[in-house]
Amino acid sequence: MDIALIGIGKIAVDQHVPAIAASSDWELAATVSRAGTVDGVDAYTDFDVLLAERPEIRVISLCLPPVPRFEYASKALKAGRHVMLEKPPGATLSECHALEAMAKAKGVSLYATWHSREADKVAAAKDWLSDKTLKSFRVTWKEDVRRWHPGQDWIFEAGGLGVFDPGINALSIVTKILPDAIHLTASTLLFPQNRQAPIAAELKFFHPGGADVSAVFDFRQEGEQTWAIEAVCEEGTMLLTHGGAQMFVDGVAQGATETGLHGEYPRLYANMAALVRAGGIDMDLSPMRHVADAFLLGRRETVVPFEF
């Protein structure tokens, strides 16, 4: 199937383009970007022109920042195209619900992707937790914004999510692997004096079984990056590390050792191909609800200015 990739930035170049190139399901037929291009692929700078000139491209993958994404997604859906959304699927929950309604009205597929759910050991962690009695659950997600988003000021603008841009990856795993639904009860958000989005956050959750569930996110981590989830249960302790790529039970590694985003984006594109063929929609917004609740309940603290 022909697909167009909209927004040729770091994540598109690092993950989307290689995943599409390696897939037997897809042919990258065009891109839209103000400056970025992909060698050998038709490049547009105007999305409206692409939609008008290339009706044979039935699938659109959006890799734009969250704030402008709704405009592009709604245009694509109204034009009868299937749409794949990089995380988060929109700037607000209301936007996401509106997009789902448009997709249903047009009879096209819509996919809110959560790439961290496709990390190598997430499915195994879900299976392990399914019959365990949870006592505590701790998420530690700390990374260096300068390394992963160099010079991307939009991430600290209103709607850019700040530290929740990576934090929502953790929440996508949490909402996938926990057998019981949780909800936020308290949050503390650290805002640099010169920014509109938080650079760090601490969260507390209600768990129906009384387990102690918490998370800490930080965009200021230097040196080793930390993407870990620890579940202490009556039956043992499970630890996910490297963003869900590695899993340990009582200190013993489970399965092969993976690193980075190994296999995540190829699996997303395989999922999208299956949705298009089945005419399906996957718009699970549970990770985004936790982020919205964190902003609603957030106790704001001001910290030193941040510059890239």
87 is catalytic: yes
Are 43 and 28 contacting, i.e. CB atoms less than 8 angstroms apart?
A: no
Write down the catalytic residue from 87, 121, 142, 176. 87
DSSP 85-148: EPSSS-SSHHHHHHHHHHHHHHT--EEE--GGGGSTTHHHHHHHHTT--EEEEEEEEE-BHHHH
Give the integer Cα–Cα distance in Å for 53 and 79: 12
Phi, psi for residue 280 in degrees, rounded to 5:
-100, 170
The residues annotated with a catalytic role in the active site are: 87
